[in-house]
Amino acid sequence: MDVALLESINNAPDEIWLLARIVLIATLTWITLRLTRRVMRQLIDRKLLTGRGEIAFRGISRVIVLLIAGLFMLEQLGVSTGTVWAAVSAVLVMIAVGFVAVWSVLSNALCSMLLLIYAPFRVGDEVELVDPANGFKLAGRVIDLNMLFVTLRETITSADGEREDVTLRLPNNLFFQRGIRSRPGRATVPLSDAHGLTTVAAKKSV
């Protein structure tokens, strides 16, 4: 009985195997879409995804899943998809790189607003970023703040004993990832007045 069943399976027409593979791909696609919706609901319940983010996540995830499923089906039908796969891979890489770049810019812009609101230091203060785990520190006098960077001026001693000023531009989000040690300067201005006052603040702090 088993031998006859195996022989009948081996002798099945190619069209049946093709149909079975397409049905399998369609089933896996349906399962993937269900899992994606479940993940999206969990993100919404945890308030990690709202409004436009929810719409974008739903649309992008559905397009990606259906596109990959369509490419697999085309391969089963004998259509060469090597060029299509290369193009899709390149587009996905560009989307990922663009997302990381945009997220970095938005993160620094948001942190600049938080620095203005909470004002942990002022222009002219001496600040020091401390990372006990790695043992490094960045220190200097705050001379400017913009949407992306906090600018510090640090005085260092060169090998020949001369003192010179160097400028450090630190991403705003770095001030929310490290401990901050600050000392009031002799003449300071609020961070909200930092834009365009780099030279003035530096002169006041000397």
pLDDT at 206 > cutoff 70: no
Q: Could you give the number of structural domains in the chain?
A: 2
User: Is 129 a member of any domain?
Assistant: yes
Q: Are residues 57 and 130 in the same domain?
A: no
pLDDT of residue 18: 77
Q: What is the mean pLDDT of the chain?
A: 75
- Please return the burial class of 123, using the count of CB atoms within 10 Å of its CB with bins 0-12, 13-18 and 19+: buried
Q: Are residues 72 and 2 in the same domain?
A: yes
Note the pLDDT tens digit of each residue in 9-31: 555 566 677 788 888 888 998 99
pLDDT at 121 > cutoff 80: yes
Helices (H) and strands (E) in the chain, counts: 5, 5
Q: What is the pTM of this model?
A: 0.47
Question: Which is higher by pLDDT, 21 or 4?
Answer: 21
- Choose the final residue of a domain: 61, 79, 97: 79
The range of the structural domain enclosing residue 149 comes to 118-205
Q: How far apart are CA 81 and CA 102, in angstroms?
A: 31
User: Is 108 a member of any domain?
Assistant: no
Residue 128 and residue 138 in contact, taking contact as beta carbons nearer than 8 Å: yes
Note the pLDDT tens digit of each residue in 37-95: 888 787 777 666 666 666 777 777 888 888 888 888 877 777 666 666 777 777 777 87
- Choose the final residue of a domain: 26, 58, 79: 79
- Choose the final residue of a domain: 49, 79, 109: 79
The count of other CB atoms within 10 Å of the CB of residue 194 is 24
Q: Are residues 56 and 134 in the same domain?
A: no
Question: Which is higher by pLDDT, 67 or 3?
Answer: 67
Note the pLDDT tens digit of each residue in 150-201: 889 888 777 777 788 888 888 888 888 888 888 887 767 776 665 544 444 4
User: Is 59 a member of any domain?
Assistant: yes
Kindly tell me the sign of the dihedral angle through the C-alpha atoms of 40, 46, 48, 53: positive
pLDDT of residue 22: 84
Q: Read off the pLDDT of each residue in 96-120 and give the average, rounded to a whole number.
A: 80
Kindly tell me the sign of the dihedral angle through the C-alpha atoms of 180, 182, 187, 190: positive
Pairing of strands 163-171, 149-157: antiparallel
Residue type, 37: R
| Size of the chain, expressed as the number of residues it contains | 206
Q: How far apart are CA 81 and CA 141, in angstroms?
A: 58
Q: Are residues 122 and 185 in the same domain?
A: yes
Task: Output the six-digit token pair for 1.
Answer: 């009985």
Q: Are residues 65 and 130 in the same domain?
A: no
Residue 156 and residue 167 in contact, taking contact as beta carbons nearer than 8 Å: no
Q: Are residues 73 and 129 in the same domain?
A: no
- 139 beta partners: 128
Q: How far apart are CA 206 and CA 202, in angstroms?
A: 6
